[in-house]
Amino acid sequence: MEQEKLYEAGCAALEKSDFSQAKELLLQAYQAKKTFKVNYLLFTALKGLRDHQMASLLAEDYLLDYLRDDQKLTEYVTEMIYAGKVRKIEMTLNLMSGFMSAKEKDNFMRLFDQTLATVRTQTDVNTLTKKLKHLGALDILEQRQVFEASGSLTIAEFVESVSADLVDEDVHPLVRAAILDELRYLGSEKTVTYLLFTGEKQDFVPGDLKELDDYMMYQRLVALLEADLEYAADQKTQILAELKLKLQLLYPKLTAPFADPEKLYAVLLGKSDLEAQEREFAQALENSLAQWMV
């Protein structure tokens, strides 16, 4: 069926509140040709099906269009909260508040508070925050699950709940790094103490940290990989993913074990000419990733 006919049939199904049929037809129309008009109608169908995760993801294709229109922004905020992306939409509203009138700010914050209160009649936030405060008592899989679920907490709730996790050796280093990176994303200006992979504790202001990709060390390592003739071109994407995971273990002090990029590159990839101490550190990284992959 042509894109225009799929679109018209999808609109007709939507008018009849046949959301399943509308989703099927409009998804085909959207795949044939992506436009904001079709995106919003498909978003409406997903909203009717209460598929909050997919609706919120779909809206991100044309996020600026949703943010420009108060009615569509209202719908987007609601879907984000129902999808458990509370902190993300709270951050978005905070960033937008400088461009809103006082009335608009009040309206959207009231919408945020009321929608969150409704959602929380169906969820146990106290149990989630309690688990988040004591991640080290959980196995690694549950640590990952709780951190992911913590997206349903507000910024204040999250910040208040994670300080002990940042120095807990029983919290997996990748979870600790993810928490610290989330605080960076939130622009937190409160100094935190963080347990590095190397075992030292150091104070950081998360809002002053950079994303991993912006570190000079990361960029040097990528350049070394690109020039490394030991690996075929089709292997390098997978190797880069492995490098990034190991660097996340070391985040935010990538130079803590080895300041020389070539030495760190050799250790991260477990090259054959490592000295005993370097092999030991390389093995510690491998062991940590093995725990993560279970």
CA 290 to chain centre: 22
Whole-prediction pTM: 0.89
Query: Considering only the top CATH level, what class is 125-209?
Result: alpha beta
The greatest distance separating any two alpha carbons of the chain, rounded to the nearest whole angstrom, comes to: 71
Q: Rounded to an integer, what distance in angstroms lies between the CA atom of residue 39 and that of residue 59?
A: 7
Any idea what DSSP says for residue 111?
H
Tell me what pLDDT residue 71 has: 94
What would you report as the CA-atom Rg of the chain, rounded to the nearest whole angstrom?
23
Q: In this predicted model, which residue has the larger pLDDT, 49 or 256? A: 49
User: What residues does each domain of the chain span?
Assistant: 3-119, 125-209, 213-293
Helix (H) / strand (E) containing 79 = helix 70-82
Q: Rounded to an integer, what distance in angstroms lies between the CA atom of residue 58 and that of residue 63?
A: 9
Tell me what pLDDT residue 294 has: 73
For the residues 109-137, what does the mean pLDDT come to? 94
Residue 160's Cβ-side half-sphere holds a number of Cα atoms within 13 Å equal to 9
Tell me what pLDDT residue 174 has: 97
Tell me what pLDDT residue 244 has: 95
Asked whether the predicted pLDDT for residue 186 surpasses 90, the reply is yes
Tell me what pLDDT residue 3 has: 81
Asked whether the predicted pLDDT for residue 111 surpasses 90, the reply is yes
Q: What is the pLDDT of residues 138-179, one digit of tens each?
A: 999 999 999 999 999 999 999 999 999 999 999 999 999 999
Q: Are 230 and 246 in contact (CB under 8 A)?
A: no
Residue 1 banded pLDDT, cuts 50, 70, 90: low
To the nearest whole percent, how much of the chain has pLDDT over 90? Answer: 86
Query: Considering only the top CATH level, what class is 3-119?
Result: mainly alpha
Token digits for 175?
């979870």
Residue 41 banded pLDDT, cuts 50, 70, 90: very high
Tell me what pLDDT residue 136 has: 96
Q: Rounded to an integer, what distance in angstroms lies between the CA atom of residue 133 and that of residue 126?
A: 11
Q: What is the dihedral of CA 178, 284, 254, 227, to 10 degrees?
A: -110
Q: What is the pLDDT of residues 198-238, one digit of tens each?
A: 999 999 999 999 999 999 999 999 999 999 998 998 999 99
Residue 138 backbone class (left: φ over 0; alpha: ψ -120 to 50; beta: rest): beta
Same fold, 3-119 and 125-209: no
Q: What is the pLDDT of residues 59-80, one digit of tens each?
A: 999 999 999 999 999 999 999 9
Tell me what pLDDT residue 176 has: 98
- For residue 168, report the phi and psi dihedrals to the nearest 5 degrees: -90, 115
Q: Are 234 and 228 in contact (CB under 8 A)?
A: no
